[in-house]
């Protein structure tokens, strides 16, 4: 029999299986999400373990050649692998099975651990962060195995239980199991898409350097009548120091601050400019009335590709109701810098500290404590795997995949990228307003469905890389 006008897609049975099992795939996720695996709560320690074990059993049932519970000092990770052919590429999938706390519980419209479907969404704790995204891969694996009998590449999956408490033992875990976790590529599905229906690969994260700054002037608060005007006021002085850290163009004035900042390429700027950024909605989400920032850059460029220096807190003198007529003994600020490639937090810390100490006025002493830092991240997008991933994602969603970045830092991404040394694909299926860490977390069920297909296309494309 001849098929007229139609080339049979070898993935068609897999895709059909996904369509057929659409409802059951949601049911399976609901079952897992009923386990309250809150990693920050001692009371839920057994639940986190039960969650890891539930996943391990599921993966074992899917014919994983190896499954294991990987213990850490606190919450266990689940591991599984399907070794098909040593000559084929190996993909390591990262996810996490622990979830955020549920407070304030009164604000949930349905019980957080009784996931419910409303308006095309599944509502419950962990449905998108990150159990739903883990199950996108679990279901893709099942679909391949049930519809085709085998996987096109070697797969390894590590699903940790401590992401919501800062992946505190992830580095140890990756080091301890480094042989077992060897792979050619890594895919992380724990981020959000740029917007609904827009397949997005996150290729950049800002780093951070965070400081505690104290400007000391007096040994005690002084009477503002008896001393005001005659000696330095550290609150006035700290304000002046902070004000001096930006010039009239919004550029940071710390000497050497921009030395290692990569200049955006024309292509990068064009790609960012092409995104349907809804600035009004972004502003409205925090009640802001105006977008401002460094001159010469768009809002997205400022958020994703330019470093910042922000006072995160100010603290001096009298803050209660009414008045207290004092010259404060000291003034403090929390100051942090978001960093971009190739800034190094330790180098920036040294520059900022040196500069702040140097601009403290006579009569004041600046003490700067570097609290913590994290390096910025930029994916090696010249590697062909990024084109492959873009294509796979686009095939599922029927729309071009975009490269996006994230203004914040995701510590575990740096950990994984650094520890594995392999290209790391941040292929996330969440939505920017999915309430991941708030009451009423939700998963878009269409995204879930198309996510499974995206994973199928990704495995398939990688096999041919």
C-alpha to C-alpha distance for 58 and 61, rounded to whole angstroms: 5
C-alpha to C-alpha distance for 26 and 442, rounded to whole angstroms: 13
Q: Residues 6 or more apart from 7 whose CB is under 8 A from it?
A: none
Tell me how far, at minimum, the Cβ of 238 lies from its own copies, in Å.
7
**302 forms part of the interface with its own copies (CB under 8 A):** yes
Q: Which is nearer to its own copies, 309 or 452 (CB)?
A: 309
Q: Which is nearer to its own copies, 8 or 226 (CB)?
A: 226
Closest CA to 33 of 94, 119, 110, 144: 110
What DSSP element (H or E) covers 226?
Answer: helix 224-227
Q: Is 378 left (phi over 0), alpha (psi -120 to 50) or beta?
A: beta
**346 forms part of the interface with its own copies (CB under 8 A):** no
Q: 347 is written with which tokens? A: 């180098």
**331 forms part of the interface with its own copies (CB under 8 A):** yes
Within 10 angstroms of residue 372's Cβ, the number of other Cβ atoms is 11
Q: Residues 6 or more apart from 114 whose CB is under 8 A from it?
A: 34, 124
| Contacting residue, 21, 51, 191, 316, with its own copies by CB under 8 A | 316
**101 forms part of the interface with its own copies (CB under 8 A):** no
Tell me how far, at minimum, the Cβ of 32 lies from its own copies, in Å.
28
Q: Which is nearer to its own copies, 88 or 216 (CB)?
A: 216
Contact status, residue 170 vs residue 87, Cβ threshold 8 Å: no
Q: Which is nearer to its own copies, 145 or 232 (CB)?
A: 232
**228 forms part of the interface with its own copies (CB under 8 A):** yes
| Contacting residue, 182, 295, 324, 399, with its own copies by CB under 8 A | 324
Specify the length of the chain in residues.
465
- The dihedrals phi and psi of 283, each to the nearest 5 degrees, come to -65, -45
Contact status, residue 193 vs residue 96, Cβ threshold 8 Å: no
Choose the stretch contacting its own copies; rule: CB under 8 A; options: 140-148, 227-235, 440-448, 451-459: 227-235
C-alpha to C-alpha distance for 345 and 351, rounded to whole angstroms: 10
Tell me how far, at minimum, the Cβ of 285 lies from its own copies, in Å.
8
Contact status, residue 237 vs residue 215, Cβ threshold 8 Å: yes
Contact status, residue 272 vs residue 298, Cβ threshold 8 Å: yes
* 3-state SS, residue 37: coil
Tell me how far, at minimum, the Cβ of 383 lies from its own copies, in Å.
25
Contact status, residue 193 vs residue 433, Cβ threshold 8 Å: no
Q: Which is nearer to its own copies, 161 or 207 (CB)?
A: 207
**322 forms part of the interface with its own copies (CB under 8 A):** yes
**8 forms part of the interface with its own copies (CB under 8 A):** no
| Contacting residue, 223, 262, 295, 399, with its own copies by CB under 8 A | 223
* First-to-final CA distance of the chain: 32
| Contacting residue, 303, 360, 455, 462, with its own copies by CB under 8 A | 303
**399 forms part of the interface with its own copies (CB under 8 A):** no
Tell me how far, at minimum, the Cβ of 325 lies from its own copies, in Å.
6
Q: Which is nearer to its own copies, 96 or 332 (CB)?
A: 332
| DSSP label of 4 | T
Q: Name the one residue in this structure whose structure tokens are 């098909």.
A: 84
Tell me how far, at minimum, the Cβ of 97 lies from its own copies, in Å.
24
Judged by CB under 8 A, the chain residues 358 through 387 that form the site for its own copies are: 361-363, 371-372
| Contacting residue, 225, 256, 296, 380, with its own copies by CB under 8 A | 225
Q: Which is nearer to its own copies, 45 or 260 (CB)?
A: 260
**292 forms part of the interface with its own copies (CB under 8 A):** yes
| Contacting residue, 406, 434, 444, 460, with its own copies by CB under 8 A | 406
Judged by CB under 8 A, the chain residues 162 through 201 that form the site for its own copies are: none
């Amino acid at each position: 029999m001849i098929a007229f006008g139609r080339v049979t897609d070898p993935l068609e049975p897999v895709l059909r299986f996904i369509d057929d099992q659409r409802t059951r795939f949601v049911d399976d996720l609901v079952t897992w999400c009923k386990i309250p695996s809150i990693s920050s709560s001692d009371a839920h320690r057994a639940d986190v373990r039960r969650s890891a074990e539930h996943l391990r059993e599921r993966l074992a049932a899917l014919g994983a050649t190896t499954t294991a519970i990987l213990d850490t000092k606190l919450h266990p990770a689940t591991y599984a692998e399907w070794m098909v052919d040593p000559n084929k590429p190996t993909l390591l999938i990262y996810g996490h099975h622990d979830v955020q706390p549920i407070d304030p519980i009164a604000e949930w419209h349905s019980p957080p651990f009784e996931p419910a479907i409303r308006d095309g969404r599944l509502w419950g704790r962990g449905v998108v962060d990150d159990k739903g995204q883990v199950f996108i891969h679990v279901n893709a694996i099942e679909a391949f195995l049930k519809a085709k009998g085998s996987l096109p590449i070697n797969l390894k999956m590590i699903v940790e239980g401590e992401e919501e408490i800062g992946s505190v033992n992830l580095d140890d875990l990756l080091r301890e199991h480094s042989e077992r976790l060897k792979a050619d590529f890594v895919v992380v599905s724990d981020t959000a898409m740029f917007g609904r229906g827009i397949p997005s690969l996150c290729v950049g994260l800002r780093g951070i350097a965070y400081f505690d700054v104290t400007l000391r002037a007096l040994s005690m608060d002084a009477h503002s009548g008896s001393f005001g005007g005659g000696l330095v006021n550290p609150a006035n002085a700290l304000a002046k120091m902070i004000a001096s850290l930006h010039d009239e163009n919004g550029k940071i004035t710390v000497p050497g601050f921009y030395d290692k900042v990569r200049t955006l390429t024309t292509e990068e700027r064009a790609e960012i400019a092409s995104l349907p950024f809804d600035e009004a909605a972004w502003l409205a989400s925090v009640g802001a009335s105006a977008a401002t920032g460094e001159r010469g850059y768009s809002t997205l460029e400022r958020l994703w590709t330019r470093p910042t220096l922000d006072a995160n807190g100010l603290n001096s003198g009298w803050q209660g109701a009414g008045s207290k007529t004092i010259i404060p003994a000291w003034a403090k600020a929390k100051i942090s810098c978001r960093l971009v490639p190739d800034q190094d937090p330790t180098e920036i810390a040294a520059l900022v500290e040196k500069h702040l100490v140097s601009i403290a006025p006579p009569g004041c002493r600046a003490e700067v404590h570097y609290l913590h830092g994290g390096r910025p991240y930029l994916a090696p997008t010249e590697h062909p795997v990024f084109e492959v991933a873009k294509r796979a994602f686009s095939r599922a969603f029927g729309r071009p995949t975009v490269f996006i970045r994230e203004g914040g830092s995701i510590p575990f991404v740096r950990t994984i990228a650094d520890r594995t040394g392999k290209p790391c694909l941040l292929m996330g299926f969440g939505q920017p307003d999915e309430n991941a860490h708030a009451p009423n977390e939700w998963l878009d069920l269409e995204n879930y469905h198309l996510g499974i297909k995206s994973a199928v296309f990704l495995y398939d494309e990688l096999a041919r890389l």
